Chains A and B, each alone.
Chain A
Amino acid sequence: MTIKRETLRKDFPILDRKVNEEPLLYLDNAATLQTPNQVLKKITEFYQKSHANVHRGVYTLAQEATQAYEQVREQVAAFIHAANAHEIVYTRSTTESLNLVASSFGELVVQEGDEILLTIMEHHSNLIPWQQLAKRKKAILKYVPLTVDQTLDVHAFKQQLTEKTKIVALAQTSNVLGVTNPVKKLVELAHQQHAYVVVDAAQTVAHHALDVQDLNVDFLAFSGHKMGAPTGIGVLYGKSELLKAMPPIQFGGEMIENVTKTTATWQPAPWKFEAGTPNIGGVIGLGAAIDYLNHLEMSWIAATEKKLMMHLLPELQKIEGLTIYGPQTVERHEGIVTFNLAHIHPHDVATGLDMLGVEVRAGHHCAQPLMAALGVESTVRASLSFYNSIAEMDRFVYALKMVKEFFNHESE
């Protein structure tokens, strides 16, 4: 794989296209990251040269495909510093990973009257599975609120943790506030109360190096498509002994050991959770995406995105009538900034920006309880990535000012 930081934009041909006759300025990287050529090439090569089903055939092709599929598991384990590749379960997405933990592990450990502790900044995918589990089990769902500076209230977190807390589920990085939570410390606190910790790393995995052993999390979920892999492949990391105890929730081919007319036994983890033909092409793409990020180096990615945010945030703060949600300091901001312009609906802002080639997200960002806590229905969100440039940040600010002027002028 040849990758040069200086020319990396060439790896993403989509960045050269036009939108509404303007050069594309893609600022919805938190929704999904664009896919580099190297990943696409790897997938194509796989289909052209080694495609076969995995864990089934005894022939050469099947063996090659199985080997490639399992090798990526090693790669994922190394990427997030898992102790063992068997702690890596392939899923469809973060959403499916979190549902798997809630339906299998949650079902196992949560009883009536127990507590599940979430934060108010959770994405719906790390909220509804727990909400529904709590309903089924008659367990109590609790939410850690925000502080006045709109970051996680660690003090309240401590207070809400009790000996009844069985599971703590939280985002490592908020997809709205752009803030990263002090996961290591929170895990320590949770473990003191013998609670298990489930971390949604969807917004962290492509931006910071992850070390699940250092964080000491029990489970961690992320999606390939937010790190340059195709859609439809995700990961659940779980500690060996926990995965071992968990029952499978999907049944079928690949996941069994022996089947009779009335009984069945399972493969060990992680395979018992991977029923049916998996997304093999997606796994290959995930491996290539990890290669890509590793070549750039996670520390370089983090520093590059920080530089962009250091440029962008103060410029946004200068715009009159613009309210930024989440922390106001660059230090606590990842490459995500969520805001509103006074008297202009987020959808109108996003349509205006779109006309100028700038693609941002408007809506509730799958975090309605958070929107309610912020006192808004919806917001605009811009999220950057390592392939964005300082010039693009300037162009975004300029476009935003034009949109603001358009609507303010029109309303006079």
Chain B
Amino acid sequence: MSLNKLNLLYRAVVLDHAQHPHHKGEISQVTQKVTLHNPSCGDDIQVFICVAQNQISEISFEGQGCTISQASASMMTDVLQGNSVSQALSQCEAFFALTMGKAIAENQKEALGDAAVLGSLAEFPMRIKCATLAWHAAKMALEGTLK
């Protein structure tokens, strides 16, 4: 029996983000916040953003979850922080495509930073929801700013 395949999903960078998440906790100025629920495990994730002049000045998340959901949320905040709303929205779409095993352009992949390693999720389809939950919350929050 071997757990080699697990290393594919749980890369060092994933475990590192999960254990020491970046931008965790509510930020002081929030323009939008969205809570999403993972019905399969019951975990909630909350994403907070502060948008000024179409720019994400701050983003953070809160909530307990599995290694994948925590790492993905942490990576996401790194990726989206400082970006324009439209740029961030297209990054969310690129992430969804990547985790579903679809090919995305090299520059899009690069723009996903650490989160690009979660492309290995395509091999673990049952866990895609864990990874995309925070990104869906961010997308909803960002769309909220456009209204």
Contacts and interface: CB of A to CB of B under 8 A. Distances in A.
Contact of B42 (A352, A377, A395, A406): A377
Contacts, number: 64
Quick one: which of A347, A352, A406 has the most chain B CB within 10 A?
A: A347
A367 to B, nearest CB: 10
Interface string A366-410: 001001000001100000000000000001001100110011001
B69 to A, nearest CB: 8
B146 interface: no
Contact of A345 (B15, B19, B65, B126): B65
Interface in B55-87: 64-68
A352 B15 contact: no
Given A351-B127, A411-B15, A346 B41 contact: yes
A406 B12 CA distance: 12
Given A347-B66, A351-B127, A410-B15, A362 B3 contact: no
B138 interface: no
A363 interface: yes
A352 B7 CA distance: 10
A377 B64 contact: yes
Interface in A237-288: none
A163 interface: no
A403 B1 CA distance: 11
Interface residues of A, number: 27
Contacts of A398: 1
Interface string B124-147: 101100100000000000000000
B96 interface: no
A378 B42 contact: yes
Contacts of A377: 41-43, 64
Given A345-B65, A345-B66, A348-B68, A403 B3 contact: yes
Contacts of A226: none
Interface in A324-338: none
Interface string B1-34: 1110110011010010001000000000000000
Contact of B41 (A352, A378, A406): A378
A374 B10 CA distance: 29
A226 B1 CA distance: 29
A229 interface: no
B43 A378 contact: yes
Contacts of A362: 41
A364 interface: yes
Interface residues of B, number: 23
A123 to B, nearest CB: 15
A208 B85 CA distance: 59
Most buried by A among B5, B12, B68: B5
A274 B68 CA distance: 45
B53 interface: no
Contacts of B68: 347-348
B9 A351 contact: yes
B40 interface: yes
Contact of B6 (A22, A345, A346, A355): A355
A352 B127 contact: no
A20 interface: yes
Contact of B67 (A22, A345, A355, A363): A345
Contacts of A402: 1, 3
Interface in A14-68: 20, 22
A356 interface: yes
Contacts of A395: 1
Contacts of B9: 351
A364 B1 contact: no
A54 to B, nearest CB: 37
Contact of B5 (A345, A348, A355, A410): A355
A399 B1 contact: yes
A411 to B, nearest CB: 6
Interface in B70-123: none
A355 B3 contact: yes
A363 B15 contact: no
A356 B3 CA distance: 7
Contacts of B3: 352, 355-356, 402-403, 406
Interface of A: 20, 22, 345-348, 351-352, 355-357, 362-364, 368, 371, 377-378, 395, 398-399, 402-403, 406-407, 410-411
Given A345-B41, A355-B6, A363-B42, 17 more contacts: A345-B66, A346-B66, A347-B66, A348-B68, A351-B6, A351-B9, A351-B126, A352-B6, A355-B5, A356-B2, A377-B41, A398-B1, A399-B1, A406-B6, A406-B10, A407-B67, A411-B15
| Leading 3 A-B pairs by shortest Cβ distance | A345-B66, A347-B66, A377-B42
Interface of B: 1-3, 5-6, 9-10, 12, 15, 19, 40-43, 64-68, 124, 126-127, 130
23 contacts: A22-B1, A345-B67, A346-B41, A348-B67, A348-B68, A351-B6, A351-B124, A351-B127, A352-B3, A352-B6, A355-B6, A363-B40, A363-B41, A371-B42, A377-B42, A378-B43, A395-B1, A402-B1, A407-B10, A407-B67, A410-B10, A410-B12, A411-B19
